[in-house]
Homo-oligomer: A and B are copies of this chain.
Amino acid sequence: MSILIISGTNRTNNKSLKIANLYAQKLISKNIDAEILSLTDLPKDYIYSALYENSGKNPEFNQIREKIASFKKIIFVVAEYNGSFPGVLKAFIDGLKYPDSLKNKKFALVGLSSGIQGGALALSHLTDVISYLNGNVLGNRMKIYKIEENFKDGKITNSVFEDLINAQIEEFIAF
Contacts and interface: CB of A to CB of B under 8 A. Distances in A.
Interface of A: 10-12, 42, 44-48, 51-53, 81-94, 98, 104, 116-118, 120-121, 124-125, 127-141, 145, 171, 175
Contacts of A125: 84, 125, 128
A86 B89 CA distance: 10
Contacts of A86: 90-91, 94
Question: How many copies make up the complex?
Answer: 4
A93 B87 contact: yes
Contacts of A83: 128-129, 131-133
Contacts of A98: 82
A44 to B, nearest CB: 5
Given A83-B132, A87-B91, A171-B104, A139 B137 contact: yes
B137 A128 contact: no
A134 to B, nearest CB: 5
A120 B126 CA distance: 15
Contacts of A45: 44-45
Contact of A94 (B81, B116, B138): B81
A42 B47 contact: yes
Given A116-B145, A136-B175, A139-B136, A82 B94 contact: yes
Given A121-B128, A171-B104, A11 B52 contact: yes
A149 B135 CA distance: 29
Q: Which 7 A-B pairs have the closest CB atoms?
A: A83-B132, A87-B91, A87-B90, A11-B52, A131-B139, A136-B139, A125-B125
A91 B47 contact: yes
Q: Which of A90, A117, A130, A145 has the most CB of B within 10 A?
A: A90
